[in-house]
């Protein structure tokens, strides 16, 4: 694939080098020539110094024939505008932007841009680790709006039904794994100590579930 990475900070440099090592043709654009020092010596993709808002720079980077572009600077308006231009003016098939400031997330939503908000995602991961070690995140969709969790069933929950533990509207039970074999559970499936219950939920949903589980433990 031909891929353009706009922004050569820590994230951009890491992304560009990983893509290069996978065999992709990578062009990196940054207006600060010193930013290219973030790239490791073994990186042999193209580097272009210049303002990504200048379409001539994007054309030199190969945007007219590229397969994908990632805008990952730490300046949200630049990421949003460059991504919008890539989608609407050059019809780039895959465009992903980094959202640096969560307060500006709506800027990307207005342009209907696929966005990764590392700040929001990281904060949510830390919150989950601090709040409950028994509920483990195994998959995150989007920027964490919906996630898949694994709940290890302790002895105190032995004999509970799935519907006893998962009661919120923003949660969906997906599977129960017992002795290495998984099944699709019903509401009245009885859980045993050592089972792993897999649940999809929003952040609000998993918070409600944690409260319910805590009350059952204490009760």
Per-residue pLDDT tens digits for 165-192? 898 889 999 999 998 899 999 999 999 9
Q: Does residue 138 sit in the same domain as residue 100?
A: no
Q: Does residue 102 sit in the same domain as residue 159?
A: no
Nearest to 51, CA basis, from 7, 110, 106: 7
**What pLDDT is recorded for position 152?**
86
**What pLDDT is recorded for position 130?**
66
Structure tokens at 95: 């465009």
Q: Does residue 18 sit in the same domain as residue 75?
A: yes
The CATH number that applies at residue 174 is: 3.30.70.1450
pTM of the predicted model over 0.75: no
Of 116, 140, 175, the residue at which a domain comes to its end is 116
**What pLDDT is recorded for position 7?**
96
Q: Does residue 48 sit in the same domain as residue 106?
A: yes
**What pLDDT is recorded for position 132?**
56
| pLDDT tier for residue 33 given thresholds of 50, 70 and 90 | very high
Number of domains in the chain: 2
State percent of the chain over pLDDT 70: 94
Q: Does residue 137 sit in the same domain as residue 112?
A: no
Say whether pLDDT at 124 is over 70. Answer: no
Q: Does residue 32 sit in the same domain as residue 71?
A: yes
Q: Does residue 83 sit in the same domain as residue 47?
A: yes
Q: Does residue 20 sit in the same domain as residue 112?
A: yes
Nearest to 94, CA basis, from 68, 71, 112, 115: 68
Q: Does residue 112 sit in the same domain as residue 129?
A: no
**What pLDDT is recorded for position 172?**
93
**What pLDDT is recorded for position 210?**
83
Q: Does residue 139 sit in the same domain as residue 86?
A: no
Helix (H) or strand (E) holding 56: helix 55-61
Q: Does residue 67 sit in the same domain as residue 87?
A: yes
Sheet holding 146-152, edge to edge: 135-141, 146-152, 196-202, 171-178, 181-183
45-86: pLDDT as tens digits: 999 999 999 999 999 999 999 999 999 998 999 999 999 999
| pLDDT tier for residue 203 given thresholds of 50, 70 and 90 | confident
127-169: pLDDT as tens digits: 665 665 567 888 878 767 888 988 888 888 899 999 998 988 8
The CATH number that applies at residue 60 is: 3.40.50.720
Of 84, 116, 148, the residue at which a domain comes to its end is 116
Query: What is the C-alpha separation between 163 and 165, in angstroms, rounded?
Result: 5
Q: Side-chain half-sphere of 170: how many Cα atoms within 13 Å? A: 13
Of 66, 98, 116, the residue at which a domain comes to its end is 116
Q: Does residue 85 sit in the same domain as residue 189?
A: no
Residue-range definition of the domain harbouring residue 89: 2-116
Nearest to 144, CA basis, from 171, 116, 166, 170: 116
Structure tokens at 117: 């908000």
């Amino acid at each position: 694939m031909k891929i353009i990475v706009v922004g050569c900070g820590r994230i951009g440099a890491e992304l560009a080098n990983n893509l290069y090592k996978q065999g992709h043709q990578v062009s990196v654009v940054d207006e600060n020539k010193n930013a290219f020092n973030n790239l490791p010596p073994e990186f042999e993709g193209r580097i272009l110094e210049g303002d990504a808002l200048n379409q001539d720079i994007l054309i030199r980077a190969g945007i007219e024939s590229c397969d994908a572009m990632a805008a990952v600077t730490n300046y949200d308006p630049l990421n949003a505008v460059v991504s919008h231009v890539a989608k609407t003016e050059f019809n780039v098939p895959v465009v992903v932007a980094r959202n640096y400031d969560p307060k500006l997330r709506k800027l990307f939503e207005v342009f209907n841009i696929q966005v990764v908000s590392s700040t929001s995602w990281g904060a949510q991961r830390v919150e989950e680790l601090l709040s409950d070690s028994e509920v483990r995140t195994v998959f995150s969709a989007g920027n964490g709006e919906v996630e898949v969790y694994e709940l290890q069933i302790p002895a105190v929950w032995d004999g509970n039904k799935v519907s006893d533990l998962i009661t919120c509207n923003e949660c969906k039970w997906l599977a129960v794994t017992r002795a290495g074999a998984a099944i699709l559970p019903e509401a009245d499936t009885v859980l045993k100590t050592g089972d792993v219950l897999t649940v999809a939920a929003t952040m609000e949903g998993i918070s409600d579930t944690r409260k319910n589980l805590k009350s059952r433990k204490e009760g």
